[in-house]
A and B are shown apart, each in its own frame.
Chain A
Amino acid sequence: MLIEVAELKKTYIHYERGGSFFEAVKSIFLRKAMPIEALKGISFTIEPGELVGFLGPNGAGKSTTIKILTGVLYPSSGRVKVAGYVPWRDRVKYVAGIGAVFGQKSQLIWDIPPVDAFLMNKAIYRISDKEYRTTLNMLVSLLEVERHIKTPTRQLSLGERMRCEFIMAMLHRPQIVFLDEPTIGLDVVAKEKIRSFIKKMNEQGVTFILTTHDLDDVERLARRVILINRGELIFDDTIGALRGYLGKKKFVTVRTAKPLVTVAFSGMRVLNPLSEYQMEMELDMEAVELNAFIRYLDEEYGIKDLIIEEPPIENILKSLY
């Protein structure tokens, strides 16, 4: 077992303050402490080589969990062991084997080219010249940033910068990598390059813990999903199991020759009437026979176009949150 988390709790103390002038003056002398339970005793384990999606709405406790797992924060109580270390206690030894990419926190240096900033990590992780050259060449070629690493960071696009962030995080060949919103703000091409890189590194045995709100990232990368909400773990299983969470459902978009005003079928629910001739529906596959439903639509309304899909994962998440 690579990561073991048991009964993890974290309580922050916030200080309440009103908005008025009187409240502001009063808060200088007297502040009301408000305990906020960010984590209420979550437990899970992660095996080596897994790629786990860590999901939850804003304020759910995802970042707090990741910060505790990376040794940045002390928990209030509970046990955590990652690769045999207690992250906050054995910080210096432990972090030598992990990497992290934070989509909204850059490790690059704004005014100088990424290749100069990489040297800082070379010194910090005590990477030999030979190992540094080999790893850098491999990462640069995988991420296709040969030209960009010598350009000042401030002149790079967000996508180019993010690919360089990955090099910064992986120069020391970590076995565990924490990704926090790694594709935030990127265009589809840049996202695809990052996802393909993550997949390749995962195939080489690197364990990834991916925190994101981009469900495409999760669907394309993660085999397992951990869902957390209000400090509690509410789901921990495969993507397939998550899809089956709402029962066997299909998502149908249909365009017809005749108006769909009177459409009705047992086990079918209208989700969104897009126009008189076009509609989004949900089918309960335990109550509907798909052939019969398609025949009904074609005979009654004349199908011009039909798309049948798995239900969008965001619908499932909405019902879980």
Chain B
Amino acid sequence: MKRVLDILRLYSTGIRIGLAENLAYRGNFLIRFFVMFLSDLLFPLVALLVYRSGAAFPGWTLEEVLLIQGIFMMAKGFAYLFFFGLVWNIGEMVRDGLFDLMLIKPCSVIHLAAATSFSLENSGSLLGGSGIFIYAVSKIPKPGLWEWAAFFLLFLLSLSVLFSFSLLMSGTLFKWVGNSRIYEIFNTITQFGLFPKTIYSRAFQNILTYLIPIAMIAFFPAAVLKGDKPEGLFLSAGICLVFLFAARLFWHAMLKSYSSAGG
């Protein structure tokens, strides 16, 4: 319990400091906020175009696809706001030799790196995603209490998948210093989660469900919310926890290879 309180105190201080930093440059803050907000609307617009042209994702209405995309954007927005910054924070610090300063603090380096990277500019995705989510939920049959409970549980697993990705990505930066393309790799892989997994081939669906649980980012939470019982849900939930555990192990193993920068 004490450990949880310490972590919460760390995050609340990080958020306070992050806000103070953001507000030092208000113009930059507003521009980045709107850029993030608008750029994330691209995929819902593509879905809209597909359905307007008469085509469709088999078995999914436009609102149901928007539900997946809204959840995807909310999960990513939440991650970008609260913990994904640890990737660029660690990346920059390792390259500049400042990561040493993190290692001399008596707390979890992962939480410290995440807490000190809070940036309100990234809330654009979360707001945009929430808007699409609310619209989509209002257009599908009203979910019951069970559906909402299952959705929140799966949304936590969705965040755990993104947290695992942030650990894998930041872990590679200890060895692969200054790798600026790591976001492109991440975005390319996770974009498969923006659409219903049933549109992919069977083999690829298995990869997205049981190997790299990208389907958990948005597909499973959306499916449960609209009342479906998707195949492979429970096994995939277990895989998410294994994925998180393996990512954490990988991160700590990579940290051992950290060699600092010249003195």
Instruction: Give chain A's interface residues, CB within 8 Å of chain B.
Output: 12, 62-64, 66-67, 70-74, 91-96, 98, 100, 102, 105, 107, 109, 111-112, 116-117, 119-120, 122-126, 152, 180
Contacts and interface: CB of A to CB of B under 8 A. Distances in A.
Question: Which 9 interchain pairs have the tightest Cβ spacing?
Answer: A63-B263, A96-B106, A123-B13, A111-B24, A72-B103, A72-B100, A112-B20, A95-B106, A123-B9
B263 A66 contact: yes
B17 interface: yes
Contacts of B228: none
Interface centre among B12, B24, B259 (most CB of A within 10 A): B259
Contacts of A105: 97-98, 100-101
Contacts of B112: 124
A45 B65 CA distance: 67
Contacts of A119: 13, 16-17
A92 B103 CA distance: 8
B116 A120 contact: yes
Contacts of B234: none
Given A112-B20, A123-B10, A124-B10, A93 B103 contact: no
B104 A70 contact: yes
A117 B21 CA distance: 10
A154 to B, nearest CB: 9
Interface string B11-43: 011101100110011000000000000000000
Interface in B197-254: none
Kindly state the interface size class of chain B when it binds its partner.
Answer: 20 to 34
A124 B107 contact: yes
Contacts of A100: 101, 104
Nearest to B116: A120
B97 A122 contact: no
Nearest to B108: A92
A71 to B, nearest CB: 6
Contacts of A74: 256
B105 interface: yes
B21 to A, nearest CB: 5
B5 to A, nearest CB: 10
A112 B103 CA distance: 23
Contacts of B24: 111-112, 152
Contacts of A112: 17, 20-21, 24
A155 B103 CA distance: 28
Contacts of A96: 106
Given A72-B100, A72-B103, A92-B106, A63 B14 contact: no
Contact of A116 (B17, B101, B116, B260): B17
A91 B103 contact: yes
B141 interface: no
Nearest to A97: B106
Nearest to B6: A126
Contacts of A124: 10, 105-107, 112
B20 A116 contact: yes
A73 B261 CA distance: 11
A112 B13 CA distance: 14
Contacts of A94: 106
A95 to B, nearest CB: 5
Interface string B51-88: 00000000000000000000000000000000000000
A98 B105 CA distance: 9
A12 B98 contact: no
A125 B106 contact: yes
23 contacts: A12-B259, A62-B263, A70-B104, A71-B103, A72-B100, A72-B104, A73-B259, A93-B106, A95-B106, A102-B101, A105-B98, A107-B101, A109-B21, A116-B17, A119-B16, A119-B17, A120-B13, A122-B13, A123-B9, A124-B107, A124-B112, A125-B106, A180-B263
Nearest to A65: B263
Contact of B103 (A63, A64, A70, A102): A70
A73 B112 CA distance: 18
Given A95-B103, A111-B21, 4 more contacts: A73-B258, A100-B104, A119-B13, A120-B13
Interface string B87-100: 00000000001101
A73 B106 contact: no
